[in-house]
Amino acid sequence: MKGTAILFAAGLTLLLSGPALAADPSYGNKSSGTTGATAPAEKPGAMAMPHHVTGNVVSVDKKTNSVSIKDTKGKEYTLVADGDTVAELSRLKVGDEVKATYKKDKDQMVATKITTVAATNTRTK
């Protein structure tokens, strides 16, 4: 009976310590240094709700892989590019009109798609 109690206690300890180790960001982190540049954001989970914003580019920060967009109501959004959209940042310029799709992930908005809006041709008669 004493051996069963010891096994139960050991199993319970292992069961409870696993999530604590998984939540520790330094556990298993083998990176040997940083280059100063921020890596692209990870893709949000499949269950994250997509959001859309249309507006003008206010700024592009290639160091943090982010773009700031001001919509027609004057609200400014700062989106962090994911791995697939980070290449699109290099072609954006301040003042470009863009449509962006993003998902909220923890405390940031992660851009999953950014497209420039084609200028509309107006005909004069």
Please report the pLDDT score of residue 47 as a whole number: 57
Taking the chain (125 residues) in runs of 10, the rounded mean pLDDT of each run is: 67 61 54 57 66 95 95 95 90 95 90 83 49
The pLDDT value given to residue 125: 47
Which pLDDT value is given to residue 63? 93
Q: pTM of the entire structure?
A: 0.58
What confidence score (pLDDT) does residue 111 get? 93
8-state DSSP, 111:
E
Q: How crowded is residue 40: how many other Cβ atoms within 10 Å of its Cβ? A: 20
Distances (CA, A) of 81 to 14, 21, 44, 124: 38, 29, 11, 39
Q: pLDDT value at position 19?
A: 58
| All domains of the chain in start order, with CATH | 50-116 (2.40.50.140)
Give 62's DSSP letter.
T
Residue 83 has a pLDDT of 87
Q: What is the pLDDT of residue 106?
A: 83
